[in-house]
Amino acid sequence: MGRAVDKRGRMAAGQKPAIVAPRPRASITVREAEAADLTAVAALDRRVTGVAKATYWQWALAHYAGGPPERIFLVAEAAGGTLAGFIIGEVRAWEFGSPPAGWVFALQVDAARRLSGVGSRLFEALCQRFRAAGVDRVRTLVDRHDHLILSFFRSQGMTAGPSLQLDLELPA
């Protein structure tokens, strides 16, 4: 086995401090979302965000679930069919002149099932779909103050992308 840290005290890639016990991994299945997932998806979103958006989720399932390979809506199901989380992505050529990339634009994991690999499994499955759809990059937009989501995407290997969002409040 290699050294835990190098001469400058940095840990080797893939190693964790000895005091961190491995977290148990959730037993879940990742599958394509279906129209019948509406109630569970809307309820999970409501628990996470505190806002009820049933009409939006109805549209999202109709648009992304079972759609073409460029539109992907996956759910993570725990034992007994309970919804543990979901992820939505799309292959888009949004940016000016740049080739299409896979964009992640929704990801939620039930609070009771976090930190057990559900988000990672969903992200991996989405990246596999992106690859199969012919793109070689994955991108997302995050709130720069949202440390949780930044930590999550960093853990998946994502780093700052090439674009910078600009913003202007229009006069009344």
Residues that bind ligand COA (CB under 6 A): 23, 48, 106-109, 114-120, 148-149, 151-152, 155
Tell the smallest beta-carbon distance from residue 80 to ligand COA (Å): 18
CB-nearer residue toward ligand COA: 107 or 125: 107
Tell the smallest beta-carbon distance from residue 133 to ligand COA (Å): 21
- Name the burial class of residue 150, with classes exposed (0-12), middle (13-18) and buried (19+) by CB atoms within 10 angstroms of its CB: middle
CB-nearer residue toward ligand COA: 135 or 153: 153
Residue 92 C-alpha from the chain's centroid: 16
84 contacts 78 by C-beta, under 8 angstroms? yes
**Residue of minimal Cβ distance to ligand COA:** 119
Distances in whole angstroms, Cα of residue 32 to Cα of each of 81, 137, 149, 172 = 13, 21, 23, 44
Tell the smallest beta-carbon distance from residue 97 to ligand COA (Å): 27
